Structures are given as C-alpha cells and as structure tokens.
C-alpha cells in the first residue's frame, strides 16, 4: 500500500526544508542545450556531463552545426561520456529531425519531444518542465530509488508506475520542484550504497530505513 496523504505531506514538507533550492544541475543556456545535455546524461552523472558540455556547446550552437560534421568528430567531442558512439548518432538524428520537421526549433510538447532520437519519456519530462514550465515529474534512478525506499511506490513498480503514483500523490503545482528535491535527496542524502539513515529526518516514515533499523544496520542519532 502506498503511503497515506498525511505521510506524503510530511515527506514533501521535509524535502522542501532540506532542499529549498533544488534545481536542474545540468549546465545549459537554452532548451536545445538542455535536451542535448539530458540525452548525454543517460547512464552517466550530471557532473561528468558538465565537464564536457561547455566546450561542446561552444562548438555546436544549432542543429545545423551538429549535422555538419562527421559523426566520428562528434564522437570524439563526447568520448569521455559513456555510450558516446550511440549518443553521437542519436544527437545527429535528433538534429536532422529538428531541421527537417521543426525548422531547427525544439518542439515544446512532450508528445513531439519523445518522437526525437534518444529522447525518452524521462528526457521529455525534464525538458518540458525545466525549459517550458510545464509541470512534470521525470523519474530517474534517484527518484525511483527514493520513492520506493520511502514507501511511496511499490518495489515492483515500473518507472512509469512510479511516475503515475507520484503524479497522484503530489499536487500538480509541486511536480517539478518535487522532482528536483527527490533527486537532491537521492544524490546527496539517501544515496544508493550508503544512505544517511542515522541523520535522516524521514527515518520515522521510511520503510527501508525502518528495516535497516531492525536489522541493526542503522544507529539513530541521539537527540
């Protein structure tokens, strides 16, 4: 069973207190750059992507720039990023589609974005929410892990089921901010291997934390 509305309110308010300024940490200056950055971030950290994109965005400013070079050159420019060959191909396919179908402009709707090469549901959600102000909850590994640990979602839930559950439990006007706060919580506090349970203000409502407590894996901090 998912958490109650009362518990969810506690979770949301606590996340707001912990990370009031949570935001997208991918370096970008426009929707097109954000899309490229999110595409590059698949199975890769934002921190690593941010070491590559400054030079990349200085060299390639428009879709025409990306398709005007051999794919091998683009591969070399993003070589430090995992799956760089596949990502280079998708970037060029995406840019060619923008040129052919959208006059070089990035579409602002989720439905159109997911048609682009390398752009899945998560990427589209990130772009529409951060670049176009459309409420959305993008489920990455941090959001999925934290949502299941806190008992908001079931362990067996798919990424789409996690997204749908969060949409039901979180007021729509808070979707984007909650997305960022869940990421910050998972990235800087409730990490995959060593979650900071002893100092977590949500330990009392966290199913995973309670299990660790019973097993003796967590020692509560004295108050």
CA distance 191 to 34: 25
Q: Which of 65, 11, 45 is nearest to 188 (CA)?
A: 45
CA distance 147 to 155: 9
Q: Which tokens in the block code for residue 83?
A: 């799956």
Q: Which of 214, 7, 26 is nearest to 129 (CA)?
A: 26
CA distance 86 to 217: 41
Catalytic residues: 122, 140
Cβ atoms of residues 198 and 220 within 8 Å = yes
CB atoms closer than 10 angstroms to residue 3: 20
CB atoms closer than 10 angstroms to residue 170: 21
Cβ atoms of residues 62 and 104 within 8 Å = yes
Question: Interior CA angle at 179 toward 17 and 214, to 5°?
Answer: 65
């Amino acid at each position: 069973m998912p958490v109650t509305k009362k518990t969810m309110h506690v979770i949301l308010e606590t996340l707001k207190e912990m990370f009031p300024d949570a935001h997208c940490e991918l370096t970008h200056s426009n929707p097109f750059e954000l899309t490229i950055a999110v595409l590059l971030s698949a199975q890769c950290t934002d921190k690593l992507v941010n070491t590559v994109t400054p030079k990349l965005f200085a060299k390639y400013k428009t879709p025409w720039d990306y398709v005007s070079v051999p794919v091998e050159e683009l591969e070399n420019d993003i070589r430090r990023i995992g799956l760089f060959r596949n990502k280079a191909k998708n970037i060029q396919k995406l840019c060619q589609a923008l040129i052919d179908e959208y006059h070089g402009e990035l579409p602002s709707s989720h439905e159109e974005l997911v048609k682009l090469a390398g752009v899945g549901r998560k990427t589209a959600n990130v772009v529409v929410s951060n670049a176009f102000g459309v409420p959305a909850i993008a489920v990455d590994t941090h959001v999925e892990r934290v949502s299941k640990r806190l008992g908001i979602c079931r362990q067996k839930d798919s990424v789409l089921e996690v997204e749908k559950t969060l949409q039901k439990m979180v007021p729509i006007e808070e979707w984007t901010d909650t997305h960022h706060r869940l990421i910050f919580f998972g990235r800087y506090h409730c990490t995959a291997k060593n979650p900071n349970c002893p100092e977590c203000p949500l330990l009392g409502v966290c199913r995973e934390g309670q299990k660790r407590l019973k097993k003796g894996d967590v020692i509560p901090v004295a108050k």
